[in-house]
Structure 1
Amino acid sequence: MKITTWRAAAAAACAAVLALAGCGANGNGANDANKAGVTGGMLTILTSATEMDLDPAKSQGLPITSNGNIFRRLTAWKITEGGETKVVPDLATTTGEPSDDGRTWTYTLKDGVKFEDGTPITSKDIKYGLERSFADSLTGGLSYHKTLLEGAQDYHGPFDGEELDSIETPDDKTIVFHLNAPFGDWPWVASLAGFTPVPQGKGPASGYGKKPVSSGPYRIESNEAGKQTVLVRNENWDKKTDSVRTAGPDKIVFKMSQDSSVAAQSIMQGTGEGRNAFSASTVPAAQLAQAQANPSYKKLLTTSSSGALSYLAINTEHVKNLKIRQAIEYAIDKKAYQTASGGTIAGDIASTLITPGIAGHVDYNLYEADPTGDVDKAKQLIKESGEAAPTLKLIATSDQAELASSIQTSLKRAGITVNIQTLNSDVYSDASTNDKGDYDLVISGWQPDFPSPYANISPLFDSTQIGNGNYNQARYNNPKVDALIKKATETINQTEAGKIWAETDKTIMADAPVVPLLYSKNTFIHGSNVTDFIIGQFPAYPDYTQVKLASKN
């Protein structure tokens, strides 16, 4: 199955911020800031965003972050006491009932689910909301369903009166999806923004994101670009129908255009709104060092556990000799890379492709060596290759300069010369994903859209994802791996699928197309009166739907 739409924005962002703490890391269920919240008060979220377009058809937002309190979908993410992120029913009574070997998925809506005006949410509202995401005027949203649903490639939205026949609504409580192939991860896809219900006939092609209709515990009171977005309680949300969201604060205010350094400083000092606020950005390096050195500030930090992958991609179309690629695996000083990234708080040293917190992850290391590398082994492999030690071109962003330097120094020890080309982030993103592949090495990172090996492995190693703006930056093409990816994707039993994904991971690493470097971590800061600040095993961001205040004042 060819899937060509992935989190491009996140991948590009990862490349730009790896020097600080990585982009996307998994969390620890213990990072919950005491879990002693009350109901009431006003929570402030400080964000660097200059506006909030909340149109679900255009959103790549995680179900647990900014729009998680406004919108509900068929399924949702729930963090367990042990920190595992699971897919659970939300508007639907189950996570989906498969039939036809996983090509058909059926959902039944719960009783009593309503929009903010009290109107019942029906299956037709979910169908219409999903159909909106196909409109040519509404771009940028996550698009897994656009390649999975039958007939979707020729569909362009509902605004001309057309419907997508592969989404059936036999009655107001039932919705049926017909896929073009079996797909075991459909319950995760049904949790994404495109599955937000939109009242039929509403949600025009433009402007809906300013004040969309709420189906969650909060509705939008105001939304001023550059200033703030204010959420207040949705009186027609019924907690009895929602096992996920706690709806603690009476009001949630997103303060926009906030400098992340200033925001962190305000929170540490507890001045003004800082006591009842948290920052949506990871803590900048300077403030992170300051907070770690001060016990009063340090307790306001929450750091995710190991998770999302930082890696060095080796262009297999250029570096064709397996022995040379294996030599690179051994020559890299991962400890030096970790130090350049900010130390142990930036992440743990990696050896696998499927990251911790995702089903199918198995600890192993095909290129076992000291964290500083095995230079002698690398030199031996170069000798066995029958080639001279190569000269390689490494592309990186300016923010990755120190990281690139650590790679250059590592490989020099084995006689491999690395020439670094520094690019701005936009040029870097294009250069690393276009059809030319004019590089030998590239530093990158990957945060999947949902905690599945499919979203972790397929975009980086499926041969259909080479070039054309996709993220197989190693230009890796192995028919055996393509077949394993297809087999795992179409396996509905997730335990069995996990075994196939683990085999896929090891099969890829035997070809050495990338060097896993770190399972990255993110660190966030919250005010002294903020509690229930939870980061699960996936993703590396706080769950906005759980956050409360310790007291109303």
Structure 2
Amino acid sequence: MRKLASRKKKIAAFAALALSLSACANTGLGVDGPTALEKQILPTIEPVHKGGTLTILDSAKDPGFDPARSQSLAVTSAGLVHRRLTTWQILPGQEPKVVPDLATDTGRVSPDGKTWEFTLKDDLKFEDGTPITSADIKYGLERSFAPTLSGGLGYHKTLLANTDGYKGPYEGAHLDSIETPDEKTIRFHLRIPYGDWPWITSLPAFAPVPKAKDNPEGYARAPIASGPYRIAEYRTGVFVQMERNPYWSNDDVRLAGPDHIKFSLGNDPVVSAQKLIYGQAQYEDTFSSSKVPAAQLITAAQSEVVGQRLQIPDPGPLLYLAINTKQVKDVHVRRAFNYAIDKSAVNKAAGGQLAGAIATTLITPGIPGREKFDLYPAPPTGDLDKAREELKQAQDVPKRPLVLITKNKNEDVLRAEAVARSISQLGLKVRIEPVESSVYSERTTQGPGDTYDMAIASWNPDFPAANSNIQPLYASSESGGGGSNRSRFEDPKIDEMISAASAELDPEKAKQMWAATDRAIMELAPSVPLVYQRFSYLRGRNVTNFYVGSFPSYPNYLIVGVKP
């Protein structure tokens, strides 16, 4: 077991982290398009300063910090309050890495890949000084099964063995697939072999929750912290005030620079961007957790002063056209769409090269093991001749107008219009249906899926592994019933490939298998990869260590500080 790190070792580790950030910081800010990317200048990454108050402009009115209901990524808001068995190391110039958090390592697996065991570090405590035990982690996971605490990331619910019908611990039932033989050991029994389980244990539900302090109705506003900050005051829709957790220790990932962190809630992203662009003095110790909207992004990029506080990351999350394979059944038609679509026009709708780069694969940049390839080579504007050649081979070309569903946000509608123009040049008719987000979700993920033919969709993986790019979007189990397979794509051979790659325990072999699965899916063309999106963010001039990677395309809250 790892001994408690000395204060000197922790300071040395943090200094090394800061130097690594400084050495890898890319540069950039220019006037428009590629120039802005080539000239970008990021703030200098410095050793973290202890002190000050960091303010975060958040669009959520009630972000909530109940780990059972949270979809917060490991390096964003909830990671300040809750630790998990593992977490992510997100640094410039490096691939995302799963690293120990509460655990001493990233897990030990049985030869059959179905049992994973972790040992907790020494001297871990909650904010009230009580020890964190393996039973607290088990209880936290069990409560995530309660129907009243639904909405969080649920990968563990389908992977743990013997969970059918389980509805949480509130009526005295417990999971025998999670064992806690002593206070520092926790053992998981899985339904299937799963090589990415260390990534799963970094998700919110793996945060410890003390049974004696659980209040299902109010825990989101008054959680018991295991991370460097605890909730001092929570006013729904107004702000969340955090202060230091005096019992936080033995943490090699979180730098915990500010003494206080304030989340200002309910901010419109456009207004947040304007505040940081035009109100620098008032917002020196502030950053926005919302990506900069297209119009403000161009304004910021054109300013040499503001641009130094703008980070434009490498391309990451996938924007794609999901083709409903139960409606558009002929693979040659779907391949024709891959050739025909003017991806540059789609990208321009959200800001051009400042907003993204042309996509050709399903596994996105920033994900370990991604292989770059293009099965449908064409200029960014598309290749109508190749598209027409594919259509000639089709036996089932749709004669009716194709329904293209999109959310009714301006840039999404503009993207849909660009897609429709390209397809119409093949002699096909397209009807765009902009709808509210709730309607979009219901129509594309629920029911038989016969109310749309195509959908403009976006995907940012829940954890940095190819599994999270592929399985949720293309496994048959995710088609309908609330799943994210908006292409309604169901193919037994692809399901076998997904299962085999998921079960592979050798990370290098798994990467090769996922890359092969990506290519095999693209051969069947259930989607058109459109754009790898850039989510850019603004900070005040006193905010330091402000880094956004291609994954997860959000600022790494765990390392941010403020200048004195």
Partner secondary structure for residue 232 of structure 1: strand
Query: After the TM superposition, which of the residue ranges 487-496 and 425-434 deviates more from structure 2?
Result: 425-434
1:106/1:450 CA distance change after superposition, 3 Å: same
Q: 1:34 aligns with which of 44, 49, 52?
A: 44
Query: After the TM superposition, which of the residue ranges 198-207 and 384-393 deviates more from structure 2?
Result: 384-393
* Counterpart check, 1:330 vs 2:339: yes
Query: Which residue type is aligned with residue 290 of structure 2?
Result: S
1:270/1:420 CA distance change after superposition, 3 Å: closer
Residues 79-478 of structure 1 aligned to structure 2 (within 5 Å): 79-238=90-249, 241-271=250-280, 273-386=282-395, 390=399, 391-399=401-409, 400-437=412-449, 438-478=451-491
Report the CA distance between 1:81 and its aligned residue. 4.5
Using the alignment, how far apart are the partners of 1:31 and 1:535 within structure 2? 13
Report the CA distance between 1:389 and its aligned residue. 6.7
Using the alignment, how far apart are the partners of 1:388 and 1:86 within structure 2? 45
Q: Is the 8 A contact 2:42 2:308 kept in 1?
A: no
| Aligned residue number for residue 534 of structure 2 | 521
Query: After the TM superposition, which of the residue ranges 124-133 and 283-292 deviates more from structure 2?
Result: 283-292
| Aligned residue number for residue 45 of structure 1 | 56
Gaps of 5+ in 1: 1-26
Using the alignment, how far apart are the partners of 2:230 and 2:66 within structure 1? 13
Q: Is the 8 A contact 2:41 2:307 kept in 1?
A: no
Report the CA distance between 1:522 and its aligned residue. 0.1
Query: Which residue type is aligned with residue 59 of structure 2?
Result: S
Partner secondary structure for residue 379 of structure 1: helix
Structure 1 runs, 4 residues or longer, greater than 6 Å off: none
Using the alignment, how far apart are the partners of 2:43 and 2:131 within structure 1? 36
User: Which structure is richer in relative contact order (CA contacts within 8 A, separation 6 or more)?
Assistant: 1
Deviations 1:403-439 (A, max 9, x none): 1111111112222221222222211111112223222
Query: After the TM superposition, which of the residue ranges 152-161 and 88-97 deviates more from structure 2?
Result: 152-161
Query: Which residue type is aligned with residue 466 of structure 1?
Result: S
Using the alignment, how far apart are the partners of 1:405 and 1:377 within structure 2? 21
Using the alignment, how far apart are the partners of 2:413 and 2:92 within structure 1? 39
Deviations 1:466-510 (A, max 9, x none): 111212111212111010001001111111111111111111111
Using the alignment, how far apart are the partners of 1:114 and 1:143 within structure 2? 26
Partner secondary structure for residue 393 of structure 1: strand
Partner secondary structure for residue 406 of structure 2: strand
Using the alignment, how far apart are the partners of 1:81 and 1:282 within structure 2? 19
Query: After the TM superposition, which of the residue ranges 475-484 and 286-295 deviates more from structure 2?
Result: 286-295
Query: Which residue type is aligned with residue 366 of structure 1?
Result: L
| Aligned residue number for residue 70 of structure 2 | 59
Deviations 1:317-339 (A, max 9, x none): 12222222111111111111111
Query: Which residue type is aligned with residue 202 of structure 1?
Result: K
Partner secondary structure for residue 56 of structure 1: coil
1:113/1:273 CA distance change after superposition, 3 Å: farther
Using the alignment, how far apart are the partners of 1:150 and 1:319 within structure 2? 37
Deviations 1:163-204 (A, max 9, x none): 211111111111111111111111011011111111232212
Using the alignment, how far apart are the partners of 1:183 and 1:273 within structure 2? 49
* Counterpart check, 1:506 vs 2:519: yes
Query: After the TM superposition, which of the residue ranges 506-515 and 392-401 deviates more from structure 2?
Result: 392-401
| Aligned residue number for residue 497 of structure 1 | 510
Partner secondary structure for residue 442 of structure 1: strand
Deviations 1:45-81 (A, max 9, x none): 0112112321111111111111111111110111234
Partner secondary structure for residue 353 of structure 1: coil
Q: Is the 8 A contact 1:268 1:274 kept in 2?
A: no
Gaps of 5+ in 2: 1-36
Query: After the TM superposition, which of the residue ranges 267-276 and 150-159 deviates more from structure 2?
Result: 267-276
Query: After the TM superposition, which of the residue ranges 113-122 and 346-355 deviates more from structure 2?
Result: 113-122
Identity of paired residues, percent?
A: 48
Q: Is the 8 A contact 2:137 2:208 kept in 1?
A: yes
Deviations 1:360-396 (A, max 9, x none): 3111101111111111111222223255574422112
Q: Is the 8 A contact 2:330 2:397 kept in 1?
A: no
| Aligned residue number for residue 34 of structure 2 | none
Query: Which residue type is aligned with residue 348 of structure 1?
Result: A
Using the alignment, how far apart are the partners of 1:387 and 1:115 within structure 2? 62
Query: Which residue type is aligned with residue 518 of structure 1?
Result: V
Number of aligned positions between the proteins = 522
Q: Is the 8 A contact 1:304 1:540 kept in 2?
A: yes
| Aligned residue number for residue 552 of structure 2 | 539
Q: Is the 8 A contact 1:55 1:209 kept in 2?
A: yes
Partner secondary structure for residue 88 of structure 1: strand
Q: Is the 8 A contact 2:159 2:191 kept in 1?
A: yes
1:31/1:307 CA distance change after superposition, 3 Å: farther
1:290/1:120 CA distance change after superposition, 3 Å: same
TM-score, normalized by length of structure 1? 0.91
Query: Which residue type is aligned with residue 472 of structure 1?
Result: N
Query: After the TM superposition, which of the residue ranges 144-153 and 90-99 deviates more from structure 2?
Result: 144-153
1:176/1:290 CA distance change after superposition, 3 Å: same
Q: Is the 8 A contact 1:32 1:535 kept in 2?
A: no
Partner secondary structure for residue 391 of structure 2: helix
| Aligned residue number for residue 78 of structure 1 | 89
Q: CA RMSD, aligned part only?
A: 1.8
Query: Which residue type is aligned with residue 395 of structure 1?
Result: I
| Aligned residue number for residue 484 of structure 1 | 497
Using the alignment, how far apart are the partners of 1:109 and 1:94 within structure 2? 9
Partner secondary structure for residue 557 of structure 2: coil
Using the alignment, how far apart are the partners of 1:539 and 1:151 within structure 2? 32
